[in-house]
Amino acid sequence: RNGIDMTTENGKKEALAIAKQSGVEIVGIMTHFPNYNAEEVRAKLGSFKESSAWLIKEANLKREDILLHVANSYTALNVPEAQLDMVRPGGVLYGDLPTNLEYPSIVSFKTRVASLHHLPKNSTVGYDSSFTTTKESVMANLPVGYSDGYPRKMGNTADVLINGQRAKVVGVTSMNTTMIDVSDIKGVKPGSEVVLFGNQKSQTINAAEIEKNADVIFPELYTIWGTSNPRVYVK
């Protein structure tokens, strides 16, 4: 994130010039801490408070009109004095905060089986024929792919949850579809719920598992999920 370093004279001048610019209304001052380190946060918090107080005074702003905020998920939970006027929780909502695993994800990523396919032994699945059946198999086609935030690397690597059991993703994940092997899972039919991330019965696919299989940081995925897929809110 690009910001202004108000610990320097040039930074103070730049911030003050922006605050005094005609047509600009300052409603908040913020910073962001890049590391999970409480002592580092506390040290930088003091500097932020000093710089903010200086700008509010020099720009003739009213403190009650300005929101001060610095706290992402880690900071809000582990440095309570840094909560200030508001907090910005993000990763913790997805169970993506390794320092605070006591907070489970409130989000799931789900789809449903579109169709079933019965394949003989030695059939190939996916682009580049990247998977070959070793026996008569039943594959379920899922209407989700890398354009929806389910990466190609999930193919032949990841599991999904269906009927409370784990099923392997087979073949390379394509743009709009993913194939899973449900040969040994009873009761699968078109419309069956499939969990790509989250819980189903006693099984869980968490952020760490998703990151390992996709070889990306988890936010790269859930930011796509929220913009490319329908959202269902439950109480």
Binding residues for substrate: 1, 175
Measure the CA–CA gap between 197 and 111, rounded to whole angstroms. 10
Residue 46, both tokens: 């003091």
Binding residues: 1, 175
Helix (H, G, I), strand (E, B) or coil at 50: helix
User: Closest Cα partner for 185 from 167, 207, 210?
Assistant: 167
* Cβ atoms of 141 and 179 closer than 8 Å: yes
Q: Is the dihedral of CA 143, 107, 35, 7 positive or negative?
A: positive
Question: Residue 131: how many CA atoms within 13 Å on its side-chain side?
Answer: 21
